Structures are given as structure tokens and as C-alpha cells.
Amino acid sequence: MRFLHTADWHIGKKLHGFDLIQEQKDAFDQIKAIASQQHVDAIVIAGDLFDRAVASEDSVSLLNQMLMELNLKEHYPLLAISGNHDSAIRLDTGSYWFKETQFYMQTHFEDAFEPVTIQDTQFFLLPYFQPQMARNFFGDDSLTKMDQIMAKTVELMEQKFAPDKKHVLVAHFFAAGSSHTDSETTLEVGGLNPVPVDILTKFDYTALGHLHDKDALKQPTVRYAGSPVKFSTSEAETEKGVWIVDTEPYQVQWVPLRPLHDIRILEHSFEELTDPALYRTIPDEDYVAIRLTDTAVISDVMNRLRHYYPRIVSLSRLNGRETLAAKDQDVRVNMDPQALFDSFFEKMTDQKPTEMQEKIVRESFAELQRGGSYEAN
């Protein structure tokens, strides 16, 4: 059979305050088109469907629409698991009757040992889990590390292998030898250490979620699909896409996704950044991380740059910033406290304080004066 492997949709995710719904809808449309073009027999979603355990109403509505479109309208069997960002209980709602339309949503560790069979392949759907869940299931308190737990988990799954079928594991964890990006939450906490990939060799293919880069792990039969959208500046150069997997004969094909609005890293001086030769090459709707090469203080730099790049997600200085000259420091000794704050704030943040921030400072100074704790000059 042939199936599409995707993961880490993170519906509801924001990029430094910017809503990514448009980007996520566009990526979904591309995934649906690829599924049709590649004539896949099923679609695998390896966890983190939502970005938050308590997803917003808009996020829930959007994911429901996507899943219904794939399953009820296009009639693809869906094989999905909950990830560490998902609420297993909330995703589990409706899972019992989902199966009537070949939508298999797995959120419970104990149910991972009953495979879902589609054509020539058995799928074992292993959701994200805490070690205590495995200890309770196996009745073994000595299971404290993920390698121990996964070895026992795979051993039990292997007992359910049909000899005339291919065997695919769908899971959401950190595999040994992988590398992660800023938008991923590490699972190496509280005993959730990496899973050695040699434990997974019993499977013909392991479809992983959690890491957002397909190249985070390079193993012939153990692969991350990565996220379909760029979720952090550390993913600016990461190619997004999906895997198309054929079980017989075994082969995998990477199909890239085109970003609707890209993330760009710009390392330039203020003068270069405000030159039409540069800013006219950057679409207004692309997300921009600026690494400023200037060391001089630039008045209201963030707001001035937003005139040219409306979607700035971060601003940093590669070479630091010049310190205030002694002469300028002397001039500020007798400044009005409000003006002194405004000047300090602008020097530290490269932007002017908002009206709300100025109001808070004014009220604070007034309170100090009323209490007799403040003396001018």
C-alpha cells in the first residue's frame, strides 16, 4: 500500500504574536492535493494536531473541518495519534464512532497494542505517553527509562505481528541522534530520554512526530515528517513537506510544501535595510527576523523598520550597541523623570514606549511623590 506521512500540524500556533491560520490552511490544501496526486491509500498524522491542550474554538473548528474533508469527503483512512501538545482526553472524544469511517484516533497507551490493518499493512498507533502510564500498564515500577519502556512495548507489539503483513509504527517521541529546533518542546525531561533507533528495527517503517525537520534524523526506515509550516526563525531554512511511503516494494519519497509566507533572516545595517534595493525584494507578508549590524544607537528603530517590513518577528544586534557617551550622561542628570524614562527605554529597546507604558510610569512617579519617597534632582 501507499500512505502519506505528516505530523506536527500545531493548529492554533502563533509566530511571535502573528496568527498562522492562513499558512496552516494553505499547507493543508497542498497536503490534500499531494494525497490525490500520489493516489495514497491512507494518511498518517503522527501527533501534535493542536498547539495547545486547551485549543481555541477557532482551532478546534479548523481541525475538524480539515479532518472531515480528508475522511468524509475524500474518503481517506486516517491514522492519527495524540502528541505532547495535545489533550489526549479531548482528542479521544468521538474516537469510538470515528472508526466507522476508517478514522483511527489513538490517544491511550494501552490501546496501542491492537493494530489497525489496512490492505497489506498493520499500523501500531502509539500516542505520546508519560512513563507512569507504561509502568501502570505493564505492572512494573522498574521501568524508568524510555529505552526500557520502548523495548518492552515493541516486544509486546511484535507478538501481534501478522507474518503476511508489513508493520508500521506511528509514534511521537525524541529518537536518539535527532536534533531539534526552537519551536519544539523537548521530551528529555523527567525520564523521557531519547529512544534508541535500533529498538525500532522490527518495524518496516516508523512514522515519527515531534521534531519539525525531516532531516533531524537520517535513518532509512525511521523518519520524522516535520511540521508543514515554519514555526520559528530557527526553521527559516528548513524545507517542509510530507513523506510518501510504499510498503511493497519499500520506498519513500519526499514531496516538499511551498510556504505561503516565508521566514527570512536579514543581517544588514539600518542603511541597507532601508534601501529599496533590499526591502522591495521582500514580500510584505513574509516574516522577517532582523540581525542589525550597526552598533550606533538608532532612534525608534523597530517602528521605522516596520515601515519597510510589516511582519518583523525579532530584532537583535549582531555586534552589540555603543554605550552612552559620558557627555550625554551628564546632560541627562537634570532631565525630567518622565523624559529620562522615555530616553532610557528607547535606548534599551530601540523603540518608543507605548501610551500604556508611559501611563504606568507617570502613575508610578505620582505615587512616589505623594508618598514623599521621591525628590526631584
Kindly report, residue by residue over 156-199, the tens digit of the pLDDT. Answer: 999 999 999 999 999 999 998 655 555 545 444 333 578 999 99
- Tell me the C-alpha distance between 208 and 3, whole Å: 14
Domain boundary among 256, 271, 290: 256
- Tell me the C-alpha distance between 228 and 275, whole Å: 33
29 and 9 co-located in one domain: yes
pLDDT band at 371 (very low <50, low <70, confident <90, very high): low
194 and 248 co-located in one domain: yes
- Tell me the C-alpha distance between 170 and 127, whole Å: 8
pLDDT recorded at residue 377: 39
Q: What is the 3-state secondary structure (H, E, C) of 306-321?
A: HCCCCCEEEEEECCCC
Closest CA to 188 of 138, 131, 238, 132: 131
| Cis omega (within 30 of 0) for bond into 256 | no
**β-bridge partners, 247:** 250
pLDDT recorded at residue 338: 81
Helix (H, G, I), strand (E, B) or coil at 169: strand
Please tell me the number of Cα atoms within 13 Å of 99 on its side-chain side: 8
- Tell me the C-alpha distance between 267 and 375, whole Å: 45
User: What digits encode the pLDDT tens for the residues 205-264?
Assistant: 999 999 999 999 999 999 999 999 999 999 999 999 999 999 999 999 999 999 999 999
Model-level pTM?
0.83
309 and 235 co-located in one domain: no
Closest CA to 48 of 169, 212, 190: 212
Task: List the CATH number of the domain containing 97.
Answer: 3.60.21.10
Q: What nine digits make up the cell of 332?
A: 541627562
**β-bridge partners, 304:** none
Domain boundary among 202, 229, 256: 256
- Tell me the C-alpha distance between 201 and 216, whole Å: 18
What residue type is 149 in one-letter code?
Answer: I
- Name the domain count of the chain: 3
147 and 272 co-located in one domain: no
27 and 104 co-located in one domain: yes
134 and 245 co-located in one domain: yes
